[in-house]
């Protein structure tokens, strides 16, 4: 926050969310770095960001002394929390004294412009007390009314017409103020009063829907109601990428190109490229989010990790958008995770494996059926089932296939390098845990 | 704009203070109490002086507000677009009683677009046997449970157990748990042992009943605290993959040297098998070291595998 727009030395509010995004991710996802581990940033910057994050997330912060110094981490069991604690960070945007003063005065003096959304809103059950509908105010009338309010405070700053006009323009863009041109005069009104949205719907979707923080914003402006939900396998880190995700959605709706800047964690430099955003692919099992986009540089559809994107700006409309989307829809049934190309350079790779299960272990067959995604499953006999898939990149199946260790009776990849690696990794695991190959017998 | 002061905790706290001030003058102590609820404790150090010294000229010296109306803010375009988007999600109709084709087809804010469509987002690894959100019976059960949760009523349910046999469960419901990976809802409550968690898809009928009918266990099941410790070799981006994969659990990470880490995960003991196979998925880059019982489970799987002679 600032006095008349001047920056104060430390404030718990921030101007640019990217500034704290990386710190939060490091504290939460990794949680082992000391201050010295945050290379490239001054100790003052580190201390300020740590203090900010601590003021919002103090209940989840842990401190540990190691030989490298004090290590800060954020530890959250997301299953025990009804709400994503990282949303607090999204409610810390800095503003000036003038911003907040004008906000509450404008929202108070502007007449309301009707409640057009009332009839159709989901879960509405009451209409809030609001401002009477009336003709809007001109800029001159607004300036006078603001002055009238501030007259009570000798020495308080005043707002000139251009400042108020700028704020009204900003609010029109946000959709909370409506402007109407009557001849040469522009009149301003508040948009309709917010109509309460079902509180449980907000609780639920603010946790599971993309850009869920927007649901949390809606809930903040309503009467509080305890959430009836908890969440298992709940990856809350994606909250930190909400702004990027939102920009991506807005560009997709308008079929725009995007200039996307990415930074890989271990690389210092960033990369910029022009892309056509096509779909967001989300993993419920790892929380990772990828943007599937057509790349003009590589001339193909590629996945971009959304947490590696530092900026995403929409450009002009892409005339071939529908064409690229169709091309993506064509390859999507052969994508296991997000990879659209294999290391082998082959267009498609085949993978198949057989699992063995004993009497009473039919749930293993059930597991294959519910986890097969784009593959197919065949029951060979009462104790064996085979999985098969033809995919763009078979290496993406390896982690999942390892979850059947102990039951794999046959494994085959069309890519011999992958098959060799898969088998040698298992051999390495035998060595790690002191298992002699073949000692299990046919039990 | 998603990151905007319009949604900030400070604006929310000030709105709450002004709301209270319209009822009667507010004191700095009252302000601090309200700020503690809407923002952080440190926020009071900024907000209270700004409101009392006239820097934010919204409260008079006597603690009364200069505004005349209860402060509210219209929904922004972005909020309307997001609400439009979620209104198309089939799970919305579990929560909102908007039956009928008309309600299902229309958007809550027709003047605005949707922020995203179901085709814009693909959750590619959720399990295929998720709950039947479109099934009218499932929806009716869900709503009856929600009503009971809101009203604090007891429930009597006819449920199919995992062997497919019908059984009667009475429960004081506590909350619903949702797993995106399983794509399922489970109801947790106070009931007799082993009946305190019910998969919603297994419910055949549900109705409210008298509290006295419920055979209570001691408390709602909280999970069985357990932990596992493993060594991690940071090759093939294993550190990043493991840390993200287990990001939803409480954990402790220690860097041993440039490539080696020791990680302790805290998890619910009821999910032991799930955790076991998830650790196996990282292959030789993860080596479980504690507890011995968990180590034995890994060894058992590997021993079985070695007998299958790949």
Residue B104 burial (CB count, 10 A): 13
Contact state of B119 with A64 under an 8 Å Cβ cutoff: no
Structure tokens at A443: 């039990």
Task: List where CATH 2.30.30 sits in chain B.
Answer: 136-213
Is residue B95 within 8 angstroms of chain A, CB to CB? yes
Which helix (H) or strand (E) segment holds residue B79: the answer is helix B77-87
Cα of B278 to nearest chain A Cα, Å: 7
| A contacts of B92 (beta carbons < 8 Å) | 122, 201, 205
Res A198 pLDDT > 60: yes
Q: What is the pLDDT of residue A7?
A: 42
Which residue in the block uniquely carries the two structure tokens 């008079």? B60
Contacts of B182 in chain A (CB under 8 A): 232-233
Chosen for mutation from A402, A418, A443 (greatest number of chain B CBs closer than 10 Å) is: A402
Query: Domains along chain A?
Result: 2-79 (no CATH), 97-190 (1.10.10.10), 238-334 (2.30.30), 349-432 (3.30.70)
Which range among A255-264, A291-300, B44-53, B217-226 shows the weakest confidence by mean pLDDT?
B217-226
A122 contact residues in B (CB cutoff 8 A): 83, 87, 92, 96, 98, 108
How are strands ordered across the β-sheet holding B260-268? B250-255, B260-268, B225-233, B286-290
Give yes or no for B50 touching A (CB within 8 A): yes
**Mean pLDDT within A66-86:** 77
Residues of A whose CB is below 8 A from B178 = 204, 207-208, 229-232
Q: Closest to B177 (Cβ–Cβ): which among A192, A211, A232?
A: A232
* B306/A407 touch (CB, cutoff 8 Å), yes or no: no
Task: Please state, for a pLDDT cut of 90, what percent of chain A lies above it.
Answer: 64
What three-state secondary structure class fits A387? strand
Inter-chain contact A441–B266, Cβ cutoff 8 Å?
no
CA distance A371 to A336: 11
CB contact under 8 A, B307 and A440: yes
What is the structure's pLDDT at A21?
87
Residue B119 touches partner A, C-beta closer than 8 Å: yes
Does the pLDDT of residue A114 top 70, yes or no?
A: no
Which of B247, B276, B287, B294 to mutate to probe the A interface, most A CBs <10 Å?
A: B247
Mean pLDDT along residues A165-190: 95
For position A182, what pLDDT does the model report?
87
Which residues from A are below 8 Å from B300, CB to CB? 406
Domain topology for B225-306: Alpha-Beta Plaits (3.30.70)
Residue A190, phi then psi, degrees to nearest 5 = -70, 150
> How many other CB atoms are there within 10 angstroms of residue B258's CB atom?
6
Assigned CATH for B136-213 = 2.30.30
User: Where do you find CATH 3.30.70.240 in chain B?
Assistant: 225-306
| Structure confidence at residue A372 (pLDDT) | 97
**Contact state of B75 with A103 under an 8 Å Cβ cutoff:** no
Higher pLDDT, A222 or B231: B231
Tell the burial category of B173 from Cβ atoms under 10 Å away from its Cβ (0-12, 13-18, 19+).
buried
Q: Which residues contact A17 (CB under 8 A, 6 or more apart)?
A: A89, A90, A93, A243, B3
At B137, which helix (H) or strand (E)?
helix B136-151
What is the model's pLDDT at position A437?
Answer: 66
- Residues 6 or more apart whose CB falls under 8 angstroms from that of A159 comprise A98, A102, A143, A146, A150
**Whose CA is closest to B206, among B153, B270, B258, B259?**
B153
Q: What is the pLDDT of residue A116?
A: 41
Asked whether the beta carbons of B280 and B242 are under 8 A apart, the reply is no
Q: Say what the pLDDT of residue A119 is.
A: 35
Contact (CB<8Å) B18/A104:
yes
Question: What pLDDT sits at residue B92?
Answer: 94
Taking the CA atoms of residue A183, residue A188, residue A192 and residue A193 in that order, the dihedral angle to the nearest 10 degrees is: -160
Q: Is B53 within 8 Å of chain A by CB? A: no
Partners of B268 in the β-ladder: B225
Average pLDDT of chain A is 87
* Least confident piece of the model among A117-131, A413-427, B232-246, B264-278: A117-131
Q: Quick one: pLDDT at residue A115?
A: 47
Mean pLDDT of A114-134: 43
Count chain A–chain B contacts defined by CB atoms under 8 A.
Answer: 413
CA geometry: angle at B303 spanning B301 and B309, to 5°?
Answer: 105
Q: Is B270 on the interface with A (CB under 8 A)?
A: no
Nearest CB to B253: which of A31, A230, A252? A31
**Chain B partners of A90 at a C-beta cutoff of 8 Å?**
2-3, 7
Question: Do the Cβ atoms of B253 and A30 come within 8 Å?
Answer: yes
Tell me the C-alpha to C-alpha distance, in Å, between residue B69 and each of A142, A146, A407, B73. 16, 15, 68, 11
Residues of A in contact with B14 (CB under 8 A): 100, 104
Q: Which regions in chain B score pLDDT beneath 70?
A: 98-105, 193, 216-218
Report the residue from B4, B250, B252 with minimal CB separation from A93: B4
Whether ipTM tops 0.90, in short, is yes
Residue A279 with chain B: CB contacts under 8 Å: 119-122
Q: Do B306 and A440 touch (CB under 8 A)?
A: yes
Q: Does the pLDDT value for residue A300 go beyond 90?
A: yes
């Amino acid at each position: 926050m600032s006095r008349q727009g001047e920056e104060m030395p430390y404030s718990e509010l921030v101007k640019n969310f990217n500034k704290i995004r990386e710190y939060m991710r490091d504290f939460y996802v990794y949680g082992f770095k000391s201050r010295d581990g945050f290379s490239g940033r001054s100790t003052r910057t580190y201390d300020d960001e740590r203090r900010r994050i601590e003021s919002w997330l103090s209940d989840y912060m842990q401190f540990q002394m190691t030989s490298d110094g004090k290590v800060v981490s954020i530890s959250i069991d997301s299953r025990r929390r009804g709400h994503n604690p990282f949303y607090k960070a999204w409610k810390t945007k800095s503003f000036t004294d003038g911003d907040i003063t004008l906000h509450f005065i404008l929202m108070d003096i502007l007449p309301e412009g009707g409640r057009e959304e009332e009839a159709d809103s989901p879960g509405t059950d009451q209409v809030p007390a609001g401002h009477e509908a009336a003709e809007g105010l001109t800029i001159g009338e607004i300036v006078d009314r603001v002055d009238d309010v501030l007259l009570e405070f000798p020495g308080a700053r005043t707002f000139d017409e251009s400042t108020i006009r700028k704020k009204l323009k900003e609010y029109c863009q946000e959709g909370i103020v409506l402007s109407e041109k009557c001849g040469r005069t522009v009149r301003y009104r508040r948009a309709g009063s917010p109509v309460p949205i079902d509180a449980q719907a907000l609780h639920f979707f603010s946790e599971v829907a993309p850009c869920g923080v927007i649901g949390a914003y809606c809930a903040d402006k309503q009467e509080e109601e305890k959430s009836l939900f908890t969440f298992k396998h709940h990856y809350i880190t994606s909250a930190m990428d909400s702004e990027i995700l939102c920009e991506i959605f807005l560009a997709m709706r308008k079929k725009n190109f995007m200039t996307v800047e990415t930074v890989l964690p271990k690389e210092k430099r960033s990369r910029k490229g022009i892309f056509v955003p096509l779909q967001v692919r989300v993993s419920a099992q790892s929380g990772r989010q990828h943007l599937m986009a057509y790349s003009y540089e590589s001339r193909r559809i590629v996945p971009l990790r959304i947490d590696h994107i530092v900026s995403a700006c929409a450009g002009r409309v892409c005339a071939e958008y529908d064409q690229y989307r169709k091309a993506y829809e064509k390859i999507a049934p052969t994508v296991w995770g997000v990879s659209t190309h294999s290391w082998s350079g082959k267009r498609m790779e085949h993978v198949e494996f057989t699992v063995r299960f004993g009497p009473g272990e039919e749930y293993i067959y059930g597991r294959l059926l519910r986890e097969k995604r784009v593959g197919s499953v065949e029951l060979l006999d009462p104790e064996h089932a085979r999985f098969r898939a033809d995919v763009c990149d078979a290496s993406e199946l390896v982690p999942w296939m390892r979850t059947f260790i102990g039951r794999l009776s046959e494994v085959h990849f069309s890519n011999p390098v992958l098959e060799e690696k898969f088998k040698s990794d298992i051999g390495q695991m035998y060595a790690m845990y002191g298992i002699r190959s073949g000692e299990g017998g046919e039990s | 704009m998603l990151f905007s002061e319009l949604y900030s905790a400070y604006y929310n706290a000030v709105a709450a203070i002004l709301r209270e001030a319209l009822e009667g003058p507010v004191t700095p102590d009252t302000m601090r109490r309200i700020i503690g609820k809407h923002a952080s404790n440190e926020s009071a150090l900024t907000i209270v002086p700004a409101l009392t010294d006239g820097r934010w000229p919204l409260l008079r010296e006597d603690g009364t507000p200069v505004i005349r109306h209860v402060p509210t803010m219209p929904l922004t375009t972005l909020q309307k677009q997001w609400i439009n988007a979620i209104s198309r999600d089939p799970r919305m109709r579990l929560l909102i009683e908007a039956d009928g084709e008309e309600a299902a087809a229309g958007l809550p804010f027709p003047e605005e677009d949707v922020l995203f469509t179901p085709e814009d987002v693909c959750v590619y690894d959720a399990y295929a046997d998720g709950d039947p959100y479109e099934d009218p019976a499932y929806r009716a059960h869900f709503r009856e449970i929600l009503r009971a949760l809101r009203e604090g009523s007891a429930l009597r349910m006819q449920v199919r157990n995992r062997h497919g046999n019908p059984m009667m469960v009475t429960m004081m419901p506590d909350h619903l748990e949702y797993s995106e990976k399983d794509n399922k809802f489970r109801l947790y409550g106070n009931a007799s042992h082993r009946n305190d968690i019910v998969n919603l898809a297994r419910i055949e009928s549900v109705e409210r009943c008298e509290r006295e009918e419920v055979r209570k266990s001691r408390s709602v099941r909280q999970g069985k605290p357990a932990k596992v410790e493993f060594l991690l070799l940071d090759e093939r981006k294993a550190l990043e993959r493991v840390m993200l994969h287990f990001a939803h659990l409480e954990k402790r990470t220690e860097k041993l040297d440039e490539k080696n880490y020791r990680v302790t995960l805290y998890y619910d003991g009821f999910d032991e098998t799930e955790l076991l196979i998830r650790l196996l998925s990282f292959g030789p880059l993860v080596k479980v070291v504690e507890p011995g019982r968990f180590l034995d489970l890994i060894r058992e799987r590997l021993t079985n595998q070695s007998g299958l002679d790949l």
